[in-house]
Structure formats: structure tokens, C-alpha cells
Amino acid sequence: MSSGRTIVVGITGGIAAYKAVNIVRAFVLRGDSVHVVATTAALRFVGKPTLEAISRNPVHTDLYEGVAEVRHVAIGQSADLIVVAPATAHTIAKLACGLADDLLGNTILASTAPLVIAPAMHTEMWNNAATRANVQTLRERGVVVVGPGTGRLTGADSGAGRMEEPDTIVAAALAALAASDLAASDLAASDLAASDLAASDTAAAGVAGNLGDLRGKRIVISAGGTREPLDPVRFLGNRSSGKQGVALAEAAVARGASVVLVAANLEVPAPEQVDLRPVGTAAELDRAMSIAAVDADVVIMAAAVADYRPAEVRPEKIKKDDTGDTLMLTLVRNPDILAGLAAAKKPGQVVIGFAAETESDPDRLLTLGREKVARKGCDYLVLNRVGWTEGFASERNEVRVLDGRGDIVIEASGSKLSVAERILDLLR
Ligand code: PMT
């Protein structure tokens, strides 16, 4: 992507506003033309002279200044990219509602440029159902949401809600700009691409802001549940439908990745664009994953794998008359596929596992996740609670993603597709 673009940096009223100065500076140093639109609250945290000196442009706040030049829409119309950092809970709510009661709101509504926001707030505000719903709405419209991270907040407290570091925000913003440039050139080059996009629920469901950012990546995903045969008609299995794995595959394809989907007994259709490799048992899944992982950049184990299989598979149907009132089965351990893939990881490859746990206490659930990521040795672990109505087969999911050290790097809830998008954001 060439430098020298027109970037609008929106700054809203949170303490992290002081860090926005570094974001402005990073764009200026790239040679971009940077225009700061600050809310009045933002200017209580960081001074206008600082922002004007660093951006080398006047800083605008007032909706009723520059009326003759129709400034309330002109700034947005001229933008190649808009970055709002920090984005407070209040601003996120306004954006979700499309409110335009200040210059920043007008600028954003009047723009067709990619929009990147970096939320910053206290953990309780970030976890609030209203904020969650508003963020989800913005994601579904293609807004790229960077962070928030987890760590020390303004006071003595720590948790999720800390604004991502400026260099992370700038990198994500430039990726969004590059993806938007790519999408524009793809669309211009091919009417077919446009009609494919229009026809694709996946694209409409929130990848527009991320389009093309996984281009060139080879991703192997396992989905569904393994079945371990007891005899020609029965098996030991689990309730995985494959929805979460398939959502990952759909989202990855829509973002430009080439995807191998190792599919264990899916109850939902696989996307047409994947290289589909159907499997039945854990042993088959193990073989298929080992082969596919050899030249993969990313390996994701979303499948629910049987930990045990029957020691013996009977060649004929087991008869009640032969077994009596009770039937004893001897089971033997299956290999831990994820641990094997993590151990055999080639340099630069990213291995992501899942953890399905029924623990209802969030802290104990987190402890189980941390123990599991350490045991499996993967780069990330997607921790989800499962039960009769949660996780398995449902349309929604709620996850915490842990890195290899057990730190929470993402918290996400919503449709399985939106959760998939958040997980894939790790790979940009
Ligand atoms: O398919 P859905 O209906 O949409 O449901 C989604 C899901 C709940 C199945 C999915 O989100 C999920 O949690 N998948 C992992 C299920 C699982 O097997 O979790 P686990 O905690 O038992 O295993 C941990 C990790 O090790 C998983 O990545 C699993 O794929 C892997 N594993 C497990 C056992 C084994 N023998 N080999 C493995 O590689």
C-alpha cells in the first residue's frame, strides 16, 4: 500500500486519548495527511496544540465551524480511512445508533472509508450487555474493532478494556486500508466478484472490514465430532454439529485464505470454496490433520474429538441376547491430536486449539483453560463453556481466547460466525 493517504483520527473522551498522539504521529511519519476530529471531551484529556503540532493540521471539534465549506461532511468524504481511538462506550453506542450530534458523528456517517475503532473503557463497561450489543452491531457492519486488550486500567484495577497499543492500532488500521484497497480493485476487476459477494451471507455477516486480510494464508481447520464405531451400526460420539468449525472456514475463505476443512460428521453444509476432507473417527482425523498441517500456516482444532475408542470393533451387530442386562465396554485412549500438532509445529506456524468445558464458575473455567493450554502446548486456546444448551449445536457461542501463557487475549460472544471473525483477527 502506498503512503500519502488521507487519514481521519477521531479522538473521544477517555484517558487513553493521550496515546492517540502516537497514532497521529505514526501516520504523519508514513507521509499521510492526518486530520484529527476530537470530541470536546477528548480535549479535556489531551491538548489541541499538541494534536495540531503533531498532525500538522488544524484540529476540528465544532459542528458549527467551517459551515461554508460544509465541513461536517467534507472531512468524512475526503477520508481514505477513519480511526477512532480511543472509542469510549458512549461513542460506540452513538456509532451503533448512527447518531450525528457532533462533528465526529457527522464525519463518520458521511464517509465510505473503512472505519477502525479501538475501544477503551473499564471492564464492567466493556462487559455490559449494551456495549457488547453495540460492538456486535458495528462488527456486522464491517467496522474493524481492535482490542481492547487486557491489563492495567486507569485506576488500581486490571482487566479487559485497556486500549490496544498505538502500534497495534496503526497496524490493524493499515491492514483494513489495504484490504479495502484490495476489495475495491477486485470489485472493479470483476463483476463476478461483486455478485459473489452480494450472494454471500458470510461476507454480509461482518467480514467487509476484513476482506482479503488473510489472502495467501493456508489454514487447516477441523470441525464436527468424531464417531468411534462399536459395531457396524453403533458408535460413541458427541453432540458437535460442526457449526463453529464451519463458521471459521467460511470466515477464513471470505477473508482470502485457502482453507482445508477436515470434516468429522458435519450436520451443516461445508462452504463450497474449501478443500473438504471428510473423516469419521479420531484416528482418521489425526491422519488427515497431520497430512494437511505439513504445509499450513495455521492449524485450528475446532473438532470435538473422542478421547477414547472401543478396544474392539465387533464385526456384527452386538445382540442383547448375547450380552444380557449389562454390557461392559473396554475403551482405549485416542492420541491427543492437538498436542501432537503443536509438538510438530514448524517455524512460524500458528496452532489454535479449543477447550470445551462444562464448569459453570468463570474463574474455575479459566483455570481449566490455562491448564489445558499449558498441557496441549498450542499458541492459542479458545475456551468455551458447553452443556445441554450451550456450545454444542447452538447458533451462538461465548469464548475467551488464551495465549500460550494463559493470558486472555480475546473475549467474544455472539453468532458462531462473529466469534470466528474475532478468532481469525489473531492471524492478521
Ligand atoms: O460443532 P459445534 O456444534 O458448533 O460446537 C462447537 C464446539 C463446542 C464443539 C467447539 O467450539 C469446541 O469446543 N471444540 C473442541 C471440542 C473438544 O474436543 O474440546 P476438548 O476440551 O475435549 O479438547 C481440547 C482440544 O484438544 C480441542 O481442540 C480438541 O479438538 C483437541 N483434542 C481433544 C481430544 C483428542 N484426543 N485430540 C485432540 O486433538
What is the spatial distance between Cα 151 and Cα 106, in angstroms, rounded to a whole number? 33
Q: What pLDDT digit, counting tens, does each position of 102-119 carry? A: 999 999 999 999 999 999
Asked whether 227 and 264 are in contact (CB, 8 A), the reply is: yes
Strands 408-415 and 308-310: unpaired
Q: How confident is the model at residue 322 (pLDDT cuts 50, 70, 90)?
A: confident
Residues lining ligand 1, Cβ inside 6 A = 240-245, 282, 301-305, 307, 334, 336-338, 353-356, 384, 386, 391-393, 416
- Ligand 1 centre distance from Cα of residue 222 (Å): 9
Ligand 1 midpoint to CA 242 (Å): 10
pLDDT at 190 over 60: no
pLDDT bin (cut points 50, 70, 90) of residue 307 is very high
Q: What is the mean pLDDT of residues 53-62?
A: 94
Homologous superfamily of domain range 6-203? Flavin prenyltransferase-like (3.40.50.1950)
Count CA within 13 A, CB hemisphere, residue 389: 1
- Give the domain ranges of the chain: 6-203, 218-427
CA distance 115 to 81: 6
CA-to-CA distance for 41 and 121, rounded, in angstroms?
14
CATH topology of domain 218-427: Rossmann fold (3.40.50)
Residue 374: partners with Cβ closer than 8 Å, 6 or more residues away? 406
Say which range, 153-162, 288-297, 334-343, 409-418, has the weakest mean pLDDT: 153-162
Asked whether the predicted pLDDT for residue 152 surpasses 80, the reply is: no
Give the DSSP per-residue string, 34-61: EEEEE-TTGGGTS-HHHHHHHHTS--B-
Pick the more confident residue, 283 or 72. 283
Residue with cell 468524504: 77
Q: If you average pLDDT over residues 252-271, what whole number do you get?
A: 93
Mean pLDDT (whole number) for 8-27: 96
**What pLDDT shows up at residue 46?**
96
Name the residue of 301, 333, 372, 376 whose CB sits within 8 Å of the most ligand 1 atoms, as the mutation to test its pocket: 301
Report the candidate in 179, 129, 173 with the shortest Cα–Cα distance to residue 147: 173
Q: What is the mean pLDDT of the chain?
A: 89
Spacing, Cα 146 to ligand 1 middle (Å): 27
At residue 392, does pLDDT exceed 70?
A: yes
60, 79 contact by CB (below 8 A):
no
- State the pairing for strand pair 149-152/158-162: antiparallel
Do residues 111 and 82 lie in contact, with contact meaning Cβ atoms separated by under 8 Å? yes
Other residues' Cβ atoms within 10 Å of the Cβ of residue 24: 29
- Looking at this protein, which amino acid is placed at residue 317? K
Ligand 1 atom closest to the Cα of residue 222 is 30
Largest Cα–Cα distance of the chain, in whole Å? 92
Q: In ligand 1, which atom is closest to the CA atom of 394?
A: 3
> What whole-number distance in Å separates Cα of residue 69 and Cα of residue 60?
13
Q: Mean pLDDT throughout 46-60? A: 96
DSSP string, 207-250: IGGGTTTTTT-EEEEEEEB--EEEETTEEE-----SHHHHHHHH
Could you tell me the distance, in angstroms and rounded to a whole number, from the CA of residue 303 to the centre of ligand 1?
5
Could you give the CA distance from residue 27 to residue 286 in angstroms, rounded to a whole number? 46
- pLDDT tens figures, 330-370: 999 999 999 999 999 989 999 999 999 999 999 999 999 99
Whether residue 118 contacts residue 143, with contact meaning beta carbons closer than 8 Å, is answered with no
218-427 shares the fold of 6-203: yes
- Ligand 1 nearest atom to the CA of residue 224, by list position: 1
Determine which residue's CA is closest to atom 26 belonging to ligand 1. 338
- Give me ligand 1 centre to Cα 274, in Å: 21
pLDDT at 201: 35
Specify the pLDDT at position 194. 39
Range from 94-98, 158-162, 169-173, 174-178 that averages highest in pLDDT = 94-98
The answer to whether 154 touches 161, Cβ cutoff 8 Å, is no
Residue 238 annotated in active site = yes
Q: Which atom of ligand 1 is nearest to the CA of 282?
A: 36
Question: CA 28, CA 5: separation in Å to the nearest integer?
Answer: 10
CA nearest neighbour of 142 among 204, 61, 225, 213: 204
3-state helix, strand, coil in the chain (%, to 5): 40, 25, 35
What is the pTM assigned to this prediction? Answer: 0.60
What pLDDT score does 142 carry?
87
In this structure, the number of other CB atoms found within 10 A of the CB of residue 48 comes to: 15
